[in-house]
């Protein structure tokens, strides 16, 4: 965990690229779902499931596991793909995404799939849930870490800021929030719909430790998480600047891909690009 060398980084980058391929394939099979956010977060989920988290896919209810709460549940294809590669369930099951009676719903359902900490859907709730888990860990004198992933767009929800204020007040240093700062939401760019800046200063004013990184640089992101573990008396927020649609040229930075899947022609084009990129990662 957190031990990085060039070989490990390449392995994590390869896994991120494979996650992106699985996202495209599962969205095509489902015929619905979100593309841009999941693709943009593949590097971060690769880092979490294959380097950062203290977890056990064969024992997902392990009491001392780290907790990962996904607030922006609509990007769940990236979580499902990472979990499948990590061994929580067969990769083939990704083909059931969003289908009736599938364990892989369009928003994660905690009691349907082992390894999920919460059920998500309405945006803005995840940070409050993670705070509750962090407070419980403190009361129980547990050493595991609590991580919460949230979108930038859901910061338009007022309860996110109530939660941020409370976490700062309680000095929850076992909590790390990761904001997917991809600058898009379903209606357009965040700074056009409802400006969030200065985002860093807002969190600092609520007594948070703030780290800003390139969320598509795995080494930088893991270093930021490592820094967060050394901070005491404050929760940490990592503002991870990501490219929505990362890895698929015609999707990158295009907000219209926020909430739609590729068709067969688009998926074939995306998979060809990703497989070419995968070959480059292995040979560099």
Mean pLDDT by 10 residues, the chain (284 residues): 84 98 98 98 98 98 98 98 98 97 96 95 94 98 98 96 98 98 96 97 98 98 97 98 98 97 98 91 74
Q: What does pTM read for this prediction?
A: 0.97
The two three-digit tokens of residue 210, written as one number? 């703030």
**So what's the pLDDT on residue 86?**
98
The full DSSP string for 127-148 is HHHHHHHHHHHHHTT----EEE
**So what's the pLDDT on residue 280?**
81
Task: Return the domain boundaries, the chain.
Answer: 6-283
Helix (H) or strand (E) holding 185: strand 184-185
Tell me yes or no: is domain 6-283 CATH 1.10.3720.10: no
Helices vs. strands in the chain: H and E counts, helices first: 10, 7
Three-class secondary structure of residue 209 per DSSP? strand
**So what's the pLDDT on residue 2?**
64
């Amino acid at each position: 965990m957190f031990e990085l060398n060039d070989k490990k980084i390449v392995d994590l980058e390869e896994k991120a690229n494979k996650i992106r391929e699985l996202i495209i394939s599962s969205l095509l099979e489902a015929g619905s779902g979100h593309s841009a956010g999941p693709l943009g977060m593949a590097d971060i989920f690769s880092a979490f499931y294959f380097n950062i988290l203290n977890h056990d896919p064969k024992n997902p209810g392990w009491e001392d596991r780290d907790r990962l709460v996904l607030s922006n549940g609509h990007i769940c294809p990236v979580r499902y793909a990472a979990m499948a590669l990590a061994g929580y369930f067969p990769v083939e099951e990704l083909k059931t995404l969003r289908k009736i009676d599938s364990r892989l719903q369009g928003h994660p359902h905690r009691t349907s799939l082992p390894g999920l900490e919460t059920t998500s859907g309405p945006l803005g709730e995840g940070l409050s849930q993670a705070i509750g888990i962090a407070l419980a860990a403190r009361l129980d004198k547990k050493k595991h870490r609590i991580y919460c992933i949230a979108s930038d767009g859901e910061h338009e929800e007022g309860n996110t800021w109530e939660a941020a204020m409370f976490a700062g007040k309680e000095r929850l240093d076992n909590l790390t929030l990761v904001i997917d700062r991809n600058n898009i939401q379903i209606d357009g760019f965040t700074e056009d719909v409802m400006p969030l800046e200065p985002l860093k200063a807002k969190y600092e004013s609520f007594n948070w430790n703030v780290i800003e990184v390139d969320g598509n640089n795995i080494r930088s992101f893991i270093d930021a998480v490592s820094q967060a573990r050394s901070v005491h008396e404050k929760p940490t927020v990592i503002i991870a600047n990501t490219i929505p649609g990362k890895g698929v040229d015609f999707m990158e930075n295009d907000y219209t891909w926020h909430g739609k899947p590729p068709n067969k022609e688009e998926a074939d084009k995306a998979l060809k690009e990703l497989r070419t990129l995968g070959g480059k990662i292995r040979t560099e």
